[in-house]
Structure 1
């Protein structure tokens, strides 16, 4: 369920969902129409780097690349607001997603060790429940294809119009790439790669290229006037 901290709802998330959340402003992100305030993630610490003003962790929940987590040191009272968590330990982090030096980073309010590994499974169940609760059954938020629309479900745009039904078996990134290509398939030449990068600015060029290769090989998209323009086979 959605838990509350003060007046802010804490949304349980996976690392993949945070890394692919859409950008609202420099330090504001959203999953569809839900603007993120505080979120919680659970993962294993892959790296730990203390600095004079903050401590940075690399937290991995195996749904995507590790997420940078940053916790500031309280310099006024000379007391660190952090604790040392060596690599290999599981932690639960509650914080806010931020853009730090061009990289998405979770600004931690609290970090604590997980002693009972059942809490890892519990967190993933909370992710599923929270996202089903908020978005209906539009997302399959399991460990492998987080934030993917469920097979057979029509995907709606913010204006209320349907974007169609996504094929079964697509990852979150592949689904997002296909959605954008479908929107531009009304054009004779489809969408060019440069425009696709602009629309999907939160994804890397490598991720877009990999998704395009998969979608092309599976027959979901095809190239038009050259190898850098694409249309959907169904739109």
Structure 2
């Protein structure tokens, strides 16, 4: 376990790096800093892809900063949109609903399981990545230490909630559960919103959402099923949509974390703000 002040981070069961870099300083990003830093300076922060895209880098080769806080290692969850096997690495394009970023998993010529690594994941499969944010030729990517498939979709929702928790901890100060207290976080949670729609500090932002997604969201807002959620068939009937239309609307709302599945994959509820 590691902590961010009052926030305690679970370990996720990840093991050390498999790419030769592991969880230590080294390589193009941290080589110049290796002498002055040790394991005690290492952190692992859950993030969205938009946070990685917007992260600040004070000068070349410096560690990136998110919410004004230096980050070394990050973990993210996203859907595999493209796979590009190379001689020395496999490049994945990951999409988490807030943005798209490349993730590079370097191959070890001395290991015999690299061919399996090249085909370990499928398109449109959710994966969790542990690694470092890097920049090469002014283009950002994540150098992956570990990539594992997501077996339970609840992990996707959990990751968004955990990323939000840490973001609020640093941007608003103190305990994120005491909304509005302290800090200088501002009104919108830009870790989600990227010219589209996502979670906002004072409630959901549906800008860019389709008419059917808005209709479904509004229906769920007035539903009386509470935390148990509403089944997709009841949603379709209540909104005048077909079940496939309702499922498409649900997928559109799930991506930015506006709704989540509850008792099964066909029952949905609004994420509380």
Name the TM-score class by shorter chain: 0.5 to 0.7
Q: Structure 1 residue 12 and structure 2 residue 65: aligned?
A: no
Distance 1:144 1:118 in 2: 22
Of residues 61, 70, 74, the one that matches 2:96 is: 61
Q: Structure 1 residue 92 and structure 2 residue 128: aligned?
A: yes
Q: Is the 8 A contact 2:74 2:130 kept in 1?
A: yes
CA deviation vs aligned residue, 1:99-123 (integer Å, no higher than 9, x gap):
1233100000110100100110000
SS state at 2:144 partner: strand
Q: Is the 8 A contact 1:127 1:141 kept in 2?
A: no
> CA shift at 1:148, angstroms?
9.4
Q: Structure 1 residue 144 and structure 2 residue 193: aligned?
A: yes
> CA shift at 1:131, angstroms?
1.5
SS state at 2:170 partner: helix
Partner of 1:35: 70
Unaligned runs of 5+ in 1: 152-168, 172-235
Single out whichever of 21-30 and 77-86 deviates more from structure 2: 77-86
Distance 2:131 2:150 in 1: 16
SS state at 2:104 partner: strand
Distance 2:190 2:165 in 1: 9
How do 1:60-139 residues align onto structure 2 when only pairs under 5 Å count?
Answer: 60-64=95-99, 66-80=100-114, 82=117, 84=119, 85-135=121-171, 136=173, 138=185
Of residues 1, 19, 24, the one that matches 2:58 is: 24
Partner of 1:46: 81
- Cα distance change of structure 1 residues 78 and 101 upon mapping to structure 2, 3 Å threshold: farther
Partner of 1:154: none
> CA shift at 1:87, angstroms?
1.1
Distance 1:125 1:99 in 2: 27
Runs of 4+ in 1 over 4 A off after TM superposition: 3-7, 145-151
* TM-score using structure 2 length: 0.49
How do 1:179-198 residues align onto structure 2 when only pairs under 5 Å count?
Answer: none
Distance 1:52 1:102 in 2: 23
* TM-score using structure 1 length: 0.57
Unaligned runs of 5+ in 2: 1-7, 12-22, 24-38, 177-184, 208-273
> CA shift at 1:35, angstroms?
1.1
Alignment RMSD: 3.1
Distance 1:34 1:94 in 2: 18
